Structure 1
Amino acid sequence: MKKQELIHLHGLLAEVGNYYERVSSRELQLEKYDSKGVRPTSIHKSKTDHKAAVFALAKGITGTMDAAESTETVPAQAD
């Protein structure tokens, strides 16, 4: 994947994260992503930095979604 494509993916994932926070009213767990200090607009950062940030962001989004699913209760119904 080229650096430009990785930056584009980074931006898309950031939008997905923002959308999820708005729709679900849950805050994403992005400590590892935030510690990287790389944002989609950080075009001067290296491809490797963006790749690490994309993985951290994706892991933060999916981790929050997994935690939300495991705490939600589903009412038992008999057919």
Structure 2
Amino acid sequence: MKKQELIHLHGLLAQVENHYEMDTGEEVEHDEYTSLGVRPTSIHKSKTDHKNAVFALAKGITSEMESETRERVPASAD
């Protein structure tokens, strides 16, 4: 994947995160993403930096979605 494509994907994931937070009212936990200091607008950062940011952001979003799903699904009665 080219750097420009990673930056575009990074921006899309940031939009997904914003939409998810607005839709659910829950904040996505993304300490790992924040600690990288790479934003979709950080075009001067390296391709590797954006790749790491994409993975960290995706991990934060999916973890939050999994957590929300577990909270909504009632435990089965054994």
TM range (shorter): over 0.9
Partner of 1:64: 64
Q: TM-score, normalised by structure 1?
A: 0.91
Structure 2 counterpart of 1:18, one-letter code:
N
Partner of 1:6: 6
Distance 1:32 1:58 in 2: 11
Partner of 1:53: 53
Distance 2:63 2:34 in 1: 15
Cα deviation, residue 31, structure 1: 0.6
- Answer with 1 or 2: which has the greater Rg: 1
Shift >4 Å, 4+ stretches: none
**Equivalence map 1:22-61=2 (5 Å):** 22-61=22-61
Unmatched tracts of structure 1, length 5 or more: none
Unmatched tracts of structure 2, length 5 or more: none
Sequence identity (%):
63
> How many residue pairs end up in the alignment?
75
Distance 1:8 1:73 in 2: 34
Distance 1:54 1:47 in 2: 11
Distance 1:71 1:31 in 2: 22
Cα deviation, residue 55, structure 1: 0.1
Structure 1 counterpart of 2:32, one-letter code:
K
